[in-house]
């Protein structure tokens, strides 16, 4: 089989995989869109702002509670046999549970201080930690299903979670519980879907309740603490953006930011689906290290950059048409901001693409250092520009921060892998 045929075969495989994960993840992505007409009409901007902050803080807390163990499992997946992988996962889940308990206690003890700093209702702080824990376990299970290529389990888990979210949230809203009902509905659906996903992977409640052996504690802790900025960079940037908006401009501004990001998140889900399909394939190709594999990687990456840009434009144009219909009138000001957040998410995707090369090399310190620079640059520029340009300034700061991160990471990837390709050509010449 010639080189062009092999490259075409790889692209077809990734296209099919990406399409599947796009469709599966779109089930989850559809939930906010299906709820948007209801939430933006039944909740005022302040109440919607509380909901936006809940999602933001729960997302931010995920790597705190989970120590980014999803990426640890991805990195170790091809190094472990099934027995060691199960023990590693069991230990990771136990560590997550312990961290969730400790963090919840801290939220209870320092509730007044934390509530004042976060602008979030004092009595509901522990719900953020529980939601973060559920999210982290849920997506860890999805990562395992994806690497095991259990597409049926992946799809059914997503469908169950999405269906229950819509059902529970609607019931609580109709009961008059406001944003509290939205929070409770989301958490309840995540709890049921998480138990279901663990059952599909063969874990049982009695087995999970047993304290795991000590062999992997140090590995998980050391990876988590070192890798945390890299695993959390997108979550931290999204959190700081909304917190800065709420602090300087009020909860209504945070709600407007969240609504603008809602439409861009649909595009992010497509991008993320490609990364889900592409990562195991990339790791296998990089592990082989031959010139043919490097050419396939370069070809697929170039195609990704081109299609991602076109897809972003299509999503943006569709959003400008659909948004006025879906959103309540109080949220129409978000429409004029969508192109900024869309550009930021395109650059996020490019950055994550590059980081996977460093991830394969286990260069987690370098990944975390670059992520810390991105986070710090975003915070600095956001605070500087919010006072002049409002929410638009915060979004521009995100565009610049991820743009800089993409350029730097591109240089690192090319410096590392281009010599390997040249050496491969010499060896095979």
Give me the domain span that covers residue 175. Answer: 3-428
Count how many residues are written for the chain: 429
User: Given pLDDT bands bounded at 50, 70 and 90, which one contains residue 407?
Assistant: very high
Q: What percent of the chain is predicted at pLDDT more than 70?
A: 82
The CB density around residue 418, as the number of other CB atoms within 10 Å, is: 12
Name the DSSP class of 80: S
Do residues 157 and 142 touch, judged by C-beta distance below 8 A?
A: yes
Ranked by mean pLDDT, the top range of 9-13, 229-233, 394-398 is 394-398
Least confident range of 87-91, 133-137, 206-210, 294-298: 206-210
Return the pLDDT at 154: 81
DSSP symbols for 404-427: HHHHHHHHHHHHHHHHHHHHHHHH
Q: Is 121 left (phi over 0), alpha (psi -120 to 50) or beta?
A: beta
> Whole-angstrom Cα distance, residue 355 to residue 265?
20
pTM equals: 0.67
**53-100 confidence digits (pLDDT tens):** 888 788 778 877 876 667 777 766 666 777 777 777 778 788 888 888
User: Given pLDDT bands bounded at 50, 70 and 90, which one contains residue 421?
Assistant: very low
> Whole-angstrom Cα distance, residue 140 to residue 93?
9
**342-400 confidence digits (pLDDT tens):** 899 899 989 988 988 988 888 888 988 999 999 999 999 999 999 889 889 999 999 99
Which residue in 104, 343, 65 sits closest to 231, CA to CA?
Answer: 65
Distances (CA, A) of 12 to 163, 291, 300, 351: 31, 20, 10, 24
Tell me how many domains the chain contains. Answer: 1
Higher pLDDT, 228 or 367: 367
């Amino acid at each position: 089989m010639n080189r062009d045929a092999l490259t075409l075969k790889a692209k077809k495989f990734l296209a099919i995989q990406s399409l599947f994960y796009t469709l599966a993840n779109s089930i989850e992505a559809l939930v906010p869109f299906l709820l948007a007409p209801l939430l933006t009409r039944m909740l005022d901007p302040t109440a919607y702002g509380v909901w936006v902050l809940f999602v933001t803080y729960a997302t931010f807390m995920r790597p705190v509670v989970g120590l980014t163990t999803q990426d640890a499992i991805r990195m170790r997946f091809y190094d472990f046999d099934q027995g060691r992988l199960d023990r590693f996962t069991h230990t990771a889940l136990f560590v997550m549970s312990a961290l969730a308990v400790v963090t919840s206690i801290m939220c209870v003890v320092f509730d007044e201080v934390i509530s004042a700093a976060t602008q979030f209702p004092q009595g509901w702080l522990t719900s953020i930690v529980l939601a973060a824990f559920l999210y982290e376990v849920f997506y860890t299970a999805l990562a395992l299903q994806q690497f095991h290529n259990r597409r049926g389990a992946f799809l059914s888990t997503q469908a169950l979670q999405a269906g229950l979210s819509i059902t529970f949230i609607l019931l609580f809203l109709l009961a008059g519980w406001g944003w509290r009902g939205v929070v409770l509905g989301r958490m309840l659906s995540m709890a049921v879907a998480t138990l279901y996903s663990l059952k599909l992977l063969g874990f049982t409640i009695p087995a999970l309740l047993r304290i795991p052996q000590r062999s992997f504690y140090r590995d998980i802790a050391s990876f988590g603490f070192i890798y945390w900025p890299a695993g959390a960079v997108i979550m931290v940037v999204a959190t700081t953006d909304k917190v800065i908006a709420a602090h300087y401009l009020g909860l209504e501004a945070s709600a407007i930011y969240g609504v603008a990001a809602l439409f861009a998140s649909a595009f992010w889900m497509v991008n993320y689906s490609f990364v889900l399909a592409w990562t195991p394939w990339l790791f296998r190709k990089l592990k082989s290290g031959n010139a043919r594999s490097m050419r396939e990687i370069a070809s697929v990456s170039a195609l990704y950059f081109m299609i991602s840009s076109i897809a972003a434009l299509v999503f943006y144009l569709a959003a400008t048409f659909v948004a006025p219909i879906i959103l309540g009138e109080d949220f129409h000001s978000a429409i004029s901001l969508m192109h900024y957040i869309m550009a930021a998410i395109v650059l996020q995707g490019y950055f994550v693409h590059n980081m996977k090369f460093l991830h394969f090399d286990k260069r987690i310190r370098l990944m975390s250092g670059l992520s810390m620079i991105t986070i710090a640059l975003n915070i600095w520029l956001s605070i500087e520009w919010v006072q002049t340009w409002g929410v638009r300034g915060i979004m521009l700061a995100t565009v610049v921060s991820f743009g800089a991160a993409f350029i730097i990471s591109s240089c690192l990837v090319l410096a590392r892998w281009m010599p390997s390709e040249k050496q491969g050509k010499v060896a095979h010449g």
